Chain A
Amino acid sequence: MATPGPKGPFSENWLVEAILVTILCCLPFGVVGIIFAAQVNSKQLAGDMEGAEKARREAAKWTKIGFWVGLGWVILVCLFYFVIGFAALGFGAASMD
């Protein structure tokens, strides 16, 4: 007979990662991550293990999307400045003539 309540070890809920992505990566994907992360443990406490596992996977998915999009954006911006920097150097050299 299945009794509701916390059973066995709590699975990783991705809350910490989702918070870090939301605050440090500047992206709303992290908020979606927090929404699902919050559901993991409340569903687990209600005995809904299947729902908790589903929420955990969703939390992981959105947190990772937020992380990679955030990182990709930062790399793109850095590349952009790198190119601008070189272009400026080129112009500087050209105007010297």
Chain B
Amino acid sequence: MNRRILRITIVTIAAGTILLLYFFVEPKNGNLPKCFFHQLTGVFCPGCGVQRSFHALLHGRMVPAMNYNLLFVLLLPLLIYFVLAFAWGKKYETSSFIYKPIFSYSILIVVLSFWLLRNIPFMPFSWLAP
């Protein structure tokens, strides 16, 4: 029980800090840490654009958010579920969907194809680039 309270406290503080920070930081000023992989290789990774996308979402700008990182916006409900489950200290049942190979392979295929497609430098694929 104590561990659960500790987890919830940590997640609440972390989430609160991140929300506050991102609400007030303006990405156009270039204050956000840039993607390490993109700096190194010039190739967009599946996570590039998440910070700008998150910032846009916090300001209720849905379309720019999807422009920056479509995958992040689509997976957001799942990500929120995972974070809440972590905070609650949820133990996944053996029959849970996260242990189904079909789920893990779908995620893998979606992430890999998103990675590939967003690096194709012409329309309509360039729409996926951040």
Contacts and interface: CB of A to CB of B under 8 A. Distances in A.
A23 B104 contact: no
Contacts of B103: 15
A23 B37 contact: no
A73 interface: yes
B82 interface: yes
A23 B82 contact: no
Contact of B82 (A16, A22, A25): A16
Interface residues on B, range: 20 to 34
A16 B98 CA distance: 8
B73 to A, nearest CB: 11
Interface in A9-44: 9-10, 13, 15-16, 19-20, 22-28, 30-31, 34-35, 37-38, 40-42
Interface in B44-59: 45-48, 50
A23 B75 contact: yes
Interface residues of A, number: 32
B104 A41 contact: yes
22 contacts: A10-B94, A13-B98, A16-B82, A16-B86, A19-B78, A19-B82, A22-B47, A23-B79, A24-B47, A24-B79, A26-B45, A26-B47, A27-B36, A28-B37, A31-B108, A38-B101, A38-B104, A41-B99, A69-B36, A74-B33, A77-B33, A81-B31
Interface of B: 31, 33-38, 45-48, 50, 71-72, 75, 78-79, 82-83, 85-86, 94, 98-101, 103-105, 107-108, 111-112, 115
